[in-house]
Structure 1
């Protein structure tokens, strides 16, 4: 199964950055130039760029363009848990709305983060997550297809962690997290009922089973004034 066009473009731009075509801090060509170069629509090109922004590989600067991102200072966090358990612990009713859900070929980033073997497929899903019916975050989660192929869509989207643990004896363990700030794009602003440009907290997380095997790569955008991270040392 071939990857969507925007994922193929994502891969080519990422490879170009890793090969040194653009260094950290460099401005990449405009969306119009890149759309012409890849012979795709501006919308498709913008989707590819957004995936790279969400992963922290690129960053947008208002009025200046899109640049290869600088490395951020990282803070190690502990007490990682699922969104469902997080909401329940705060006395809120968790729910979600699935925007997209499909099995597909992974991007280069997804392959690297999940340590996938050649030709492995992934389940990629986009969801809006709610606490008491208030949108808290927009999430893109990628999971190796072999780990979840026996489960229903409802079992996976309601609570992946609980489904893995209770029905497959796959127990989540540690996670690696990176948190940074970003502004809401027009699309995400609509999903989260905020204004374009409002402050968001971006979380990128690789979750591991207790065996040490990575099982989930998540890119999440939280509404800045509806969520906070607690650091425990």
Structure 2
């Protein structure tokens, strides 16, 4: 086999398909005259095969050797294309077994007034919470600022979120004392943090504020979330307020990027209202549950 790697020179007798022409995406040649790298072209070809159902969910795709032979490219090119699909959540690597079609992503957001537990149920999954630990501690600076504390103690709660026995997310929540003193471990096994704030502590909740970002998994994160080091994670930092405007919880949540996505809905008419609300004191809005 000739290894062309990412060489973009045209091959004798080979021409790219005409725009709009029907092609066999399994056997279609890569366009070596294109400025688009070969690995990205191959990524698009395999992505198309996944979207049309060439392989079923949970099924192993062609091996690296088979793909390299079929498209006459190097194993390095194959790995680049497959790794991109793994990062985006379309594929899943299983050590010693191969590369498999991943389950669809778990999605949640602020568009519905219920938590991530019910989002999982709505998607046909069985949610579970695994309590890793809870202990009092001096509030870290970021937590103290969010909860408006001055050298105050908080209860740190660490939990894993599972769907159908698969780890989906890792939550670390901080609740200030003396409020946290009323919380029992049994409250933490049944639902998301809104559940134990409302049912366990009897609070009436107001608004919540979120900061959403992406980070690379550390060794600790990767071990907890059963993913690879440096794989992308969805990060959500949320401060929840009671109906009378007191901050009652700070949550740091990490979700496997390949298995999670967060949906937001924006209304043009609401932007002005939000700006005015920020400038004018008003009553806290009802929390949308995470």
What TM-score does the superposition give when structure 2 sets the normalisation length? 0.49
Report if the CA contact (8 A) 2:236-2:252 is conserved.
yes
Quick one: which of 176, 201, 215 aligns to 2:209? 176
> Shift in Å at residue 167 of structure 1?
4.6
The 1:139/1:163 distance shift into structure 2, 3 A limit, reads closer
1:149 aligns with 181
2:243 aligns with 210
> Shift in Å at residue 96 of structure 1?
1.9
1:125 aligns with 157
The 1:99/1:84 distance shift into structure 2, 3 A limit, reads same
For residues 163 and 125 of structure 1, the distance between their equivalents in structure 2, rounded to whole angstroms, comes to: 12
> Shift in Å at residue 81 of structure 1?
4.2
DSSP-derived class of the 2:227 partner: coil
CA displacement 1:107-137 (0-9 Å, x = unmatched): 1211110112x45321102221111111111
1:194 aligns with 227
4+ runs deviating over 6 angstroms: none
DSSP-derived class of the 1:229 partner: strand
Report if the CA contact (8 A) 1:175-1:205 is conserved.
yes
For residues 105 and 158 of structure 1, the distance between their equivalents in structure 2, rounded to whole angstroms, comes to: 27
For residues 139 and 189 of structure 2, the distance between their equivalents in structure 1, rounded to whole angstroms, comes to: 19
For residues 140 and 166 of structure 1, the distance between their equivalents in structure 2, rounded to whole angstroms, comes to: 19
Report if the CA contact (8 A) 1:80-1:175 is conserved.
no
Superposed, which structure 2 residues align to 1:13-92 within 5 Å?
79=112, 81-92=114-125
For residues 115 and 80 of structure 1, the distance between their equivalents in structure 2, rounded to whole angstroms, comes to: 26
Decide which structure has the larger Cα Rg and report it.
2
DSSP-derived class of the 2:214 partner: strand
Gaps of 5+ in 1: 1-75
TM-align CA RMSD: 2.2
> Shift in Å at residue 143 of structure 1?
0.9
> Shift in Å at residue 205 of structure 1?
0.9
> Shift in Å at residue 88 of structure 1?
2.8
The 1:167/1:96 distance shift into structure 2, 3 A limit, reads closer
What TM-score does the superposition give when structure 1 sets the normalisation length? 0.60
For residues 225 and 174 of structure 1, the distance between their equivalents in structure 2, rounded to whole angstroms, comes to: 29
For residues 151 and 214 of structure 2, the distance between their equivalents in structure 1, rounded to whole angstroms, comes to: 34
For residues 128 and 212 of structure 2, the distance between their equivalents in structure 1, rounded to whole angstroms, comes to: 23
Gaps of 5+ in 2: 1-108, 267-290
The 1:138/1:163 distance shift into structure 2, 3 A limit, reads closer
